[in-house]
Amino acid sequence: MTNLSRREFIARTIAASSTAALCGGGAWSAIAREKGELPVVVFSKVYQALKLNFEDAAAVTAEAGLNGIDCPVRIGGEILPEHVADELPRYAAALQKRGLQLPYLTTGITNVSSPCAEDILRTAKKLGVQSYRLGFAVREADASAAKQVREIKAQLKDLAALNKEVGIGAVIQNHSPVGKSYVGGDLSEMLELVNSFDPAQIGVAFDIGHALVVHGDGWRQHYEELKSHLKVVYVKDVKRAGRWVRFGEGDIAATGYFKLLKELKYQAPVSMHIEYDWADGGKTKTRPALVEVLRHSARMLRRWLSTGG
């Protein structure tokens, strides 16, 4: 404090605390500072191709040098909603034995009446999960975009109240069309969805891959408008035309996005997604091949996060 007035010191401390709160903070911030790198967790949907049990999934995660997982708890997911109270603690325990974490869930929850919504959230909170991804809203052909956004926001209001009560945050992912169009895939629409909510209750899982496919270089303006609500970073590599590829073979490293994350002082775990055909149509669908894919992807991602792309 030698060269700072007390007022300046307090102002800077408040600013730093606000950034940490925005981007995750807490224990993960300490890990990031200690290791000099952001924690990277894998969206463990990729494990389902091998039908890994919880112990094997934890072992693969550790072997690949990752920090934990982002677990799909939804219909067709690693854990079904109706089994969450029994299975999620067992999965978390398997991870914990290997020093791994469970910071995120990916769910099908779209409103407070979604199947097992409250069970999922309360179980997740007890296990230290900090954010869960909401289910997607498919665009309705017979409803205007504005009408559908209003209806979704009304549902989010009730969810935000439940999130505040439980002490957990929800995030909405921006997603490009894949045969169907999702509300919020257009980032202008995403802003309309979240701008009236406290980001602690309803935030954004910003997916640079989908943003690049939908908006091209225009993604950056939308990012600036949304960054106050950015809670979780999703990363997968992609060609601008929309083809998911091996990490390092696409276009996201050259976007400047990772430099922006450094400027934002983003400190929460990064969720790494494997969306390309890593198993070559099933020819290499083996445990060793998956571990190598995860190692390579995490190595590339950590390099981008460290250097800014």
CATH number at residue 243: 3.20.20.150
Distance CA 265, CA 263 (A): 5
Between 27-31, 82-86, 87-91, 292-296, the lowest mean confidence (pLDDT) is in: 27-31
The number of folded domains in the chain is 1
More confident residue, 152 or 36: 152
Question: Looking at the domain assignment, is residue 5 inside a domain?
Answer: no
Mean pLDDT of the residues in the chain? 91
Question: pTM (2 decimals)?
Answer: 0.89
**Which pLDDT score is estimated for 34?**
65
Report the 10 Å Cβ neighbour count for 70: 26
Question: How many residues appear in the chain?
Answer: 309
Range of the domain at 221: 19-307
Torsion on CA atoms 274, 171, 104, 134, rounded to nearest 10: -80
Average pLDDT over residues 60-84: 98
**300 vs 177: CA distance, rounded Å:** 26
Please provide the distance, in angstroms rounded to a whole number, between the alpha carbons at the two ends of the chain: 34
Residues forming beta bridges with residue 133, ordered by sequence position: 106, 171
pLDDT at 53 over 70: yes
pLDDT band at 5 (very low <50, low <70, confident <90, very high): very low
Q: Does a structural domain hold residue 91?
A: yes
- How far is CA 203 from each of CA 75, 96, 198, rounded to the nearest angstrom? 23, 27, 8
Rounded Cα gap, residues 30 and 118, in angstroms: 30
User: 280 lies in a domain?
Assistant: yes
What are 142-187's pLDDT values in tens digits?
Answer: 999 999 999 999 999 999 999 999 999 999 999 999 989 999 999 9
Spatial neighbors of 257 by CB under 8 A, at least 6 apart, are 208, 223, 309
> Is residue 11 one of the residues assigned to a domain?
no
Distance of CA 119 to the CA centre of its chain: 21
Q: Tell me, what's the pLDDT at 263?
A: 96
pLDDT reported for residue 309: 87
